[in-house]
């Protein structure tokens, strides 16, 4: 399992679809927002939590189309399907590798980019916490979407259409945690909902992803 995780991490960096691309997109979105809405500090403070969460979501979405495509193209996916390691564990490791190369860098970069959007000081901790809790769900959901579209030519657009509706609950509760934290309102309810969504996706979707892969590999 560790060898597979290290292999996927190396592939993510070499293919250019992980760390650098998602982080650059996140930075571009954050920098362009003040130009589009104006330099009003009060307005930026109000919309900062939602913009940062939306940027993180789109950055995660950007690298999903290569999550399983490389293994499909070189035949590695067939070997993994017949390996002693359960296919559920394989897709879980791939989701973990995606989070380590895409989700975790976004979590670490969010406070710095929050300064550009004039995020209130109390909101930084809640922004990081909400992203830390919510981004694993986006990686697991993205792995499920990648399993559904693996082997399809130009499946990137279809993958986005399939995954985006599933991302909406995570976006709603994640942005609400950050917004409430920035304004000093109680955050327990949306944070628990966000944690529940993440726990449910981690518990259920690897089995669904593995089942879909078995069908596609027949």
**Domain boundary assignment for the chain:** 2-216
* Per-residue model confidence (pLDDT) at position 67: 79
Angle at CA of residue 166, ends 99 and 97, nearest 5°: 15
pLDDT band at 78 (very low <50, low <70, confident <90, very high): confident
**pTM score:** 0.89
Q: Does position 184 have pLDDT exceeding 60, yes or no? A: yes
- Phi, psi for residue 208 in degrees, rounded to 5: -65, -40
* Region 80-104 average pLDDT: 86
Cβ-Cβ contacts under 8 Å for 181 (sequence gap 6 or more) = 49, 122, 123, 125, 126, 127, 129, 130, 187
* Region 2-19 average pLDDT: 69
* Per-residue model confidence (pLDDT) at position 19: 61
pLDDT above 90 coverage of the chain, percent: 43
* Region 128-140 average pLDDT: 95
* Per-residue model confidence (pLDDT) at position 195: 97
Q: How high is the mean pLDDT of the chain?
A: 86
Lowest mean pLDDT among 57-66, 146-155, 204-213: 146-155
Rounded CA gap, 117 and 114, in Å?
5
Q: Identify which has the larger pLDDT, 67 or 24.
A: 24
């Amino acid at each position: 399992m560790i060898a597979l995780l290290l292999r996927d991490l190396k592939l993510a960096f070499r293919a250019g679809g992980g760390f650098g691309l998602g982080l650059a997109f996140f930075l571009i979105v954050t920098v362009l927002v003040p130009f589009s809405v104006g330099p009003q500090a009060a307005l930026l403070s109000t919309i900062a939590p939602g913009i940062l969460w939306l940027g993180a979501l789109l950055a995660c979405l950007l690298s999903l189309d290569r999550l399983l495509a490389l293994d499909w193209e070189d035949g590695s996916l067939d070997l993994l399907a017949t390996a002693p390691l359960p296919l559920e564990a394989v897709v879980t490791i791939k989701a973990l590798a995606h989070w380590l190369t895409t989700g975790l860098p976004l979590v670490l970069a969010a406070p710095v980019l929050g300064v550009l959007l004039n995020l209130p000081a109390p909101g930084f901790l809640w922004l990081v916490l909400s992203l830390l809790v919510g981004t694993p769900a986006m990686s697991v959901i993205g792995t499920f979407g990648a399993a559904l579209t693996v082997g399809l030519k130009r499946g990137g657009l279809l993958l986005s259409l399939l995954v985006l509706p599933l991302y909406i609950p995570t976006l709603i509760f994640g942005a609400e945690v950050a917004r409430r934290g920035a304004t000093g309102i109680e955050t327990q309810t949306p944070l628990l909902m966000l944690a529940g969504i993440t726990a449910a996706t981690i518990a259920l979707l690897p089995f669904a992803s593995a089942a879909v892969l078995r069908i596609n590999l027949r």
